[in-house]
Each structure stands twice: as C-alpha cells, then as structure tokens.
Structure 1
Amino acid sequence: MASSIIAYLNHQPTHHKTLALAIPMILSNLTVPITGLVDTAVIGHLSDAHFLGATAVGSLIITMIMWAMGFLRMSTTGLAAQAAGQAESYAIKQSLYNAVAVAITLSLVILITQSLIWQAAIAFMQASDQVLSLAKSYYDIRVWSLPALLLRYVFVGWLLGLHRARLPLLILVVSNLINIVLDILFVVYWGWGVEGAAWASVIADYIGLAVGLVVIAAIIRGLKPATNEPSWFQRKAFLRVLALNRDIFIRTLALEAVFYVQTSVGGSLGDVVLAANAVLMNFVMIMAHGLDGFANAVEAMAGRAFGQGFRRRFWRSVTVSGFWSLLCSLLFALVYALFGDSMIDLMTSIPEVNQLAKEYLVYLVFIPIVAVWSYWLDGIFIGITEMKAMRNSMLVAVFLVFIPLTFTVEFISNHGLWLAFYGFMIVRAAGLAWYLNRLPLTFNEQRV
C-alpha cells in the first residue's frame, strides 16, 4: 500500500492535471464566499448588529435553497465525466439537457412556493423581530435570482465534467465581481442597506447566466454528432438522473440542517452571538470553497478514469488530489492562525461583535485540518456517482452526532455549537472512508 501511494505521488502528469483542474475551480469557488464576505463587510460597518444578523439570516435561507439544489452540479459532473471517459458525444449532451430540464422545473416550483419556504425557514429561527423583518426584505428580492443560480449550477458541473475548468472560472468571476461592485455602489454610496445587497446579487446572477449560455452554446456546436443520434430524452437515463439527485438532495438537506440549527441556536443566544458566528462562518465558507477545488478535480479525474475502466489512473487521481487537499488545508489553518484577528477587524467594527468573534477564533484555526477529508471524499463519490454512501454518512453525522451535541449549549454556551460542528465533520469523513473501503469498484482488468 505504501509503495503504491509513493508511486502515485511520484507521477508528475497527475499532479499537473490535478492543479490544472483545481486552481481554476479554487478561484471560481472562492468568488462565491468572497461575495458573501463583501456583503457581510459592507453591512457589518453599518450602525447596529441587527443589520448584520438580518443579512446572515436572509442569505442563509437563500444558501439553504441553493445547497438543497446542489445535486444539479454534482450529478451533472459525475455523469458528464463518465460520458467523456467513454467518448460518447450523445451521452455528454444528454447529461446537460436532462439537468437543464430539472433545473428549470425546480426554479418554477421554488418561485411559486417562495412564501411557504420563508415561513418554514423561520418557523424555528430564534432571532429578534427586527432582524427577521430586515431578513424578509432581503429574501423577497434575492429569491428571484434562483433560476439563474440553478442553471449556473448545471453549467459549472457540466463544464467541470468535461475538464473545461477555466470556463466556470469565467462565468463565476464575471458574476461575482459585478456583485461586489454593485454591493459597494448600492449599499455604501446609495444607502440602500440590506435591500441593496440583495439587488446587487440578483443583477449579477443573471449577467453570469448570460455568460454561461454563450459558453455552453459554443461547446455544444463543437461536439461531433453521433451516428443516428436519438432524441436527448430517454426515460431510463432521466430516471437515473432523478435517482442520483434524490440521494444528493436528501444528503444536502441533512447538511443544511447543520447550518440552520447552528444559526437558530446562535440566534437564541442573542444578536451579538448570531453576528459573531456569521463573521466566522464566512471564513469557514471560504475554506470550504477553496478545498472544494481539489474535490472538484478528483470528481472530474476519478469520474473519467472510472468511466474508462482504468484502475491505476483512478487511484492515482484519488491519491494526488488528497495530497494537495491536505496541503491546502494546512495553508488555510496557517492563514487563520496568523491573520485571523486582522480579518475579523476587516469584517466588522461593531465592538461587541468583533470581540466575541476573536474569542472563538481558535475554533476557526483548526477547522480546515478536520474538514478537508470529508470534502475530498465527497469528490471521489461524486465522480463514481455513488450517492447513497454520501447520503447515509451525512445522515449519521447530522442526526446521531451534531444535533445531540448542540444540547451542550445549555452548559457551555456558544462553545457547544462549535464542538458540535467539529464532531459532525469528523464523523462525516469517517463514514465516507468506511464506505470507500467497502465499495466493490469495477474496472476493466486489462486497463490498469
């Protein structure tokens, strides 16, 4: 085993391929939390903590909806990567068209039921009336960007599966840079407050969608048509997409329960605790999106190798991406340890929020080293489209570990929330590792 790992790590072409895929995706992914960081920083310098708390609650609900729809990107990446490995242009296009159909349908359902979603989301949210009122203003505007966001999920996932990682970077950078510029214009210069941050996001998201449509159309025109190509819709293929999406959807709802419970319980401890946790969780999101770059790389590389039936190429991709994921996590930990105080100062000038966030900074420092394994393992399972294992390990981590540990808040206050988060990450990774060791992966024995 050790000799195989060393041999895999000595294979320079795999390192080059991993970095060629991961670096654009890291840059792409980081634009997403950086946009949230700008929202928080702009709102965090207004007069009161309830503005920051409202932005945290409103954006959390939109983020929860988006994460629940995260299967659109994940399943599309896995299916597109395997289709590309088999060099089937028809299957490549089918993986896109099926996902687009699902995204459009879900967008319509969300917009029709947006009021019900809000009521369900705040049913157990223990924030002040002032915070909830401002959060509702944010949500009512921001929800209209969801069609653009869901289609962008599909486009990014499809392009990643085809190993075209630079194009998602173009789409996301354009969208999020516009968001940042409009954030500053609407909130700082025009004084639109929370509503300004929401409108900035909506406008930027539709501009990003327009860029994505141009990119996708150009690639489809370049695909060689298959001989006697049938209709893109085939019942069996579509049902497979729905089955994969179902398992990821359940898994993602469980993950969302973590952030919902964390925000709700934090709100019960007061607006200052809610705001301080929001500041730190922005840095957790930056870390998660950064580490996801290497998870994205292993999705595409392992998925293609699996589709081709190459055993050695598959495990080489897994090993090298794990090596780079670990290095990246150590870098995040070092940055948070050295510059955490200064980063918090940039985020908020509200004295009580600033002080409390610094008290809990130690939890942020070690999160990258603990969390990296679950992100990396997620990438492997997405690439081989084994979504049931992801679902089951997540359910165990959330309902048997995280939620029971949140009851320690009664005894150790906000420390209990962060310890519960640590426990969740550890058990989630352990469950995925257990499944990976037991999976009967099938390869062509002539292709090592």
Structure 2
Amino acid sequence: MADRAAGAAPAPPPLTHRRVLAIALPIVLSNATVPILGAVDTGVVGQMGEAAPIGAVGLGAIILAAIYWVFGFLRMGTTGLTAQAWGAGDRAEVDAMLSRALLIGGAAGLVLIALQWPLFAGAFRIAPASAEVETLARDYMAIRIWSAPAAIGLFGITGWLIAQGRTRAVLVLQLWMNSVNILLDFWFVLGLGWGVQGVAIATFLAEWTGAGLGLWLCRGAFRGAAWRESARLFEPARLRHMAAVNTDILIRSLLLQAVFVSFLFVAAGFGDVPLAANQVLLQFLQITAYALDGFAFAAEALVGQAMGARARAVLRRAALMTSLWGVLTVIGLAAAFAAFGGAIIDLMTTSAEVRAAARDYLPWMVAAPVFGLASYMLDGIFIGATRTRDMRNMMAVAAAVYAAAALALVPACGNHGLWMALLISFVARAVTLGLRYPALEAAADRPAQARG
C-alpha cells in the first residue's frame, strides 16, 4: 500500500457499537457546552446592572449567528465529501478537501467583513431595537465580524475532522474555544470594565485561537503536497461537485429555517402567552437536536466512508447501528420530558400564565423526539452519502406538507394544530427520504464516478 503522504488513507477500524459511541459521545458532550457560553456572556454583562448591554449582546450574537449559519453547508458538505474520499483510500483528496474548505471559509469571511455595513443595517431593519441597544450591538458586531474568516473556516475544519471520526478533536476544539471565551469574558468585562466590547473581543480571540488550534489538529493534512496542489484543488469536476453538494444543502437548510420562522410568526398571532410558551418549548427541540447530533454525525462519517469504499453492507450496518442508538436516545428523551418537563418549564420562566400554557402543549414535546428521530438520522445518512439533491427535494416536499397541514389544522385547533403541523412535517421528511434510501444503497454498488 502506498504511504500516507502518497495518497492512501489507512483502513478504517471494524464497525462496532464501540466505534459508533466513540464518534457520537464527544459531539454530545461538545454540544452540552454551548449553552454554558451563552449563559456566561449574558451573566457577565448582567453584572453591569443595566438592561441595554444584555439586550445588545443577545441581539448582536443572534444576528451574527444567523449570518454565519448561511455557511453551515460547509460543515456538512465537507463531512460527506471527505468521508467518501477517506473510505475510497484517497488521502490526497482528503487533504485537498481541507484546503478547499479553508479557502471557501476564508473568502466568505472576507466578503462578510467587506459587506458588514449593509448587512448590519438590513438586520436592524428586520429586528429593530432601541437606540441604545442598537448602538451597543453595532459596537459588539463591529468587533466580532473581524473573526468571520475564522468562524466560517471552523465549519470546514469541524466537518473534516468528523469525516474521519475524529470527534474527540472536535470536543477539544470546542472546550478550548469556550474556555478561552469564558475566561476572557471575566477578565475583560469584570476585571477591566470593557463592557459589551469586552465580550466581543473575548469571542474574537476565542474564534481566532480556535482556528489556530484547529489547523494544528489537522496538521497531518499539511505533511504531503496535495493540500497545495492547485491543479487538484481547482480541478473543475471536483469543484462543480462540491458546489452542487453545498448548494443543495444550503437550499435544504433555508427551507428548514423557513418552516421554523413561519412557525414563530404564526404563533405570534395567538398572543404573547402562547408565543412565549412556544419559545420555551422550542428549547426542548434544541435539547433533542443536541442529543441526536452525535449519532447523526456518526452516520455522516460512517456512511460516507462506506460509500467511498463502495461497501453496501457496511453502509447498511452503519445506518442501522447509528439509528439504533438514536432510538435509545429518543426513548430516554421522551421519558425525561414526560417526567421532568414541568420542572424544566419552571426553570425557564417564572410567569404563571406561560408555565400553564407550556404545560398544556408539553405532550407535543414528549412526542417530538419520537416523531423527529427518523428525519434527524436520515439527514445524517444522506449527508454522508452526499445524496444532497434528494435532501433538497424532500425538504421542499416536507415544507409544502407543513404549510398545508398548518392551513388545515391551525384554524380548527389553534396552537395545538400548529405543533401538530410541525410534527407532521418531520414525518413527511422522514417518509420521503426513506423512499429514496434504496437508491442511496444501490449507489454504493456502482463504481465510483468522477466527482462532478
């Protein structure tokens, strides 16, 4: 076998439950740290004793997260394409994928820096705030935007590591960034009194040092020559294939986001209390997503590697094993939400009206993990196989089903009908993707085609 630098990837270890958990659990732990950082950011500015800084940090962070989220396709697309190259034993293409992802991330970040003023102006037009909050939020965003190349590049780095099953490295990266951010928050805000700008500088430094650590964790890619070979990096067929995959994922993600945004808009029409209750209950969906991400990411890596190796039996085993752990996870989540959902609601709000309303709709949260499992897992499977056109098309069908269900159910059942429509959309996405799964498996039997 050719040596590593010459382009051969090492043979993957046997596919076992231990291997699935080794990939999945670090992602679950990594996700668990995300809310901690948001709580610290809010807590340190809260010590200033004013409302405006809290609102400014929250609004600024949400706007930047929404802007960066547009480039989330880079994480998913990089995972699928890299995993397939890894499974095919093409180490040179694995290394080249990292360079392409970094080039896209860097270029996207520079474009955002150049367009920051119209982007921020448009954001505040959509989400207006008081003059004081907007001024502080602009100060916060004006600092953080300069780490956009690092933040978006990290999508590619994370996807590249996940593709090889190196999720412990992803956990290390997340822990580093969160630890740096939290420590600098305390120093800059409470120690030096820099206020909102201190929070922004802390995040700016965390993202750039995180990107540096990420590159160090990926240092193996830079030992050979493939990562800098322009003929390979800019090969038209590979670039077209990467562009098609990423475009499909972007459209699919925009459609999914449209469903959730419309959900909130419709809920707003029910009044302040149902809207607040829905916002509380959406955190249950967030918990579900964080818990299932680990197994969906494992499916991306393992299915992608099997697809690259043209190993249909291994692909099916990867899909089944990761989904089995997903089933066990949602059973635990549904039981926990049924037993402790009321207590969780009480932690999130002190309003008696909102607590009562949220409890009224809590059964939908007990059902949501069960009804959503197949769509989560099939997303991971289809990303790994880079069957992104199917993902895009079936998400369009699911969005249409959601709209039809909402139009039919909301007038008759109100907010209960809205939740029912959302869960129906999960099922529609699962069923339609499930119908495309046999074609996905069959593709693993065909000889590898040029990436285009």
- Give the TM bin, normalised by the shorter chain: 0.7 to 0.9
Residue deviations 1:276-334 (CA, integer Å, cap 9, x gap): 44443333223212201111111111111111111111111111111001111111222
> Contact conserved, 1:78 with 1:303, CA < 8 A, in 2?
yes
Q: Is the 8 A contact 1:39 1:183 kept in 2?
A: yes
Shift of 1:120: 4.8
Following superposition of structure 1 onto structure 2, how do residues 191-202 of structure 1 map, counting pairs within 5 Å? Answer: 200-202=202-204
CA offset digits 1:380-404 (Å, max 9, x no partner):
1111111101111111222441476
Residue 80 of structure 2 is aligned to residue 65 of structure 1: no
Which one of the candidate residues 196, 203, 206 is aligned to 1:204?
206
Please give the secondary structure, in 1, of the residue aligned with 2:89: coil
What secondary structure, in the 3-state scheme, does the structure 1 residue paired with 2:286 have?
A: helix
Q: Tell me what 1:437 maps to.
A: 438
CA distance in 2, matches of 1:121, 1:301: 39
Gaps in structure 1 of 5+ consecutive residues: 1-11
Correspondence 1:78-157 to 2 at 5 A: 78-118=80-120, 120-121=122-123, 133=134, 136-137=137-138, 142-157=144-159
2:103 & 2:46 partners in 1: Cα distance? 39
User: Distance in 1 between the 2:280 and 2:46 partners?
Assistant: 9
> Match for residue 169 of structure 2?
167
Kindly provide the amino acid, as one letter, of the partner of residue 166 in structure 2: R
Q: Which residue identity lines up with residue 216 of structure 2 in the other structure?
A: V
CA offset digits 1:426-448 (Å, max 9, x no partner): 212122112213446234599xx
SS of residue in 1 equivalent to 2:16: helix
Distance in 1 (CA, whole Å) between partners of 2:123 and 2:53 is 19
TM-fit CA distance, 1:21: 1.1
List per-residue Cα deviations over 1:175-231 (Å, max 9, x = no partner): 124445556777889998877765554443333222212212x222455879x9955
Deviations 1:6-28 (A, max 9, x none): xxxxxx95212211111112222
| Equivalent residue, structure 2, for 1:318 | 319
The one-letter amino acid paired with 1:261 is S
The question of 1:21 aligning with 2:32 is answered no
Does the 8 A contact of 2:316 with 2:441 survive in 1?
no
**TM-score of the superposed pair, with normalisation by structure 1:** 0.81
Quick one: structure 1 residues 359 and 58, their matched pair in 2 at CA, closer, same or farther if it must change by over 3 Å? farther
CA RMSD of aligned residues (A): 3.9
Distance, in Å, in 2 between the alignment partners of 1:184 and 1:265 is 39
User: Residues of 1 paired with 2:146 and 2:414: CA distance?
Assistant: 37
Q: Could you tell which deviates more after superposition, 369-378 or 54-63?
A: 54-63
- CA distance, structure 1, for counterparts of residue 20 and residue 287 of structure 2: 20
Q: Which letter maps to 1:155?
A: I
Question: Residue 290 of structure 1 aligns to which amino acid in structure 2?
Answer: A
**Aligned position for 1:239:** 240
Contact 2:106 2:150 in 1 (8 A): no
> How far, CA to CA, are the matches of 1:267 and 1:141 in structure 2?
33
Give, in whole Å, the separation in 2 of the partners of 1:49 and 1:157.
38
Q: Name the amino acid aligned to 1:423.
A: I
SS of 1:87's equivalent? coil
Letter in 2 for 1:175: M
- 8 Å contact kept, 1:161–1:300: yes
Aligned to 2:450: none
> 2:262 maps to which residue?
261
Q: What amino acid is aligned across from residue 107 of structure 1 in structure 2?
A: G
Contact preservation (8 Å) 2:252, 2:391: yes
Whether the 8 Å contact between 2:87 and 2:309 is mirrored in structure 1 is: yes
- Cα 1:432–1:185 change in 2 (3 A) is farther
Q: For 1:284, give the aligned amino acid.
A: L
Report if aligned partners of 1:33, 1:289 keep a CA contact under 8 Å in 2: no
Q: Is the 8 A contact 2:42 2:54 kept in 1?
A: yes
CA distance, structure 2, for counterparts of residue 274 and residue 190 of structure 1: 39
* Cα distance in 2 between the residues matched to 1:407 and 1:141: 46
The offset of 1:365, in angstroms, is 2.5
Cα distance, 1:423–1:174 mapped onto 2, change above 3 Å = same
Shift, 1:139, TM fit: 5.2
Structure 1: distance between partners of 2:98 and 2:292? 25
Change (3 A) 1:23 1:396: same
Q: Does 1:219 align with 2:216?
A: no
1:329-408 equivalences in 2 (<5 Å)? 329-349=330-350, 356-402=357-403, 405=406
Give the distance between the partners of 2:258 and 2:58, measured in 1 at CA. Answer: 16
Cα deviation for residue 76 of structure 1 reads 0.7
Q: Tell me how far 1:98 sits from its aligned partner.
A: 1.1
How many residues are treated as equivalent by the alignment?
432
Greater shift after overlay, 180-189 or 433-442?
Answer: 180-189
Residues 151 and 207 in structure 2, CA contact (< 8 A), matched pair in contact too: yes
Q: Mark the CA change 1:23 to 1:183 in structure 2 (over 3 Å): closer, same or farther.
A: same
Deviates more, 1:327-336 or 1:179-188: 179-188
**5+ residue gaps, structure 2:** 1-13, 448-452
1:265 CA drift (Å): 4.2
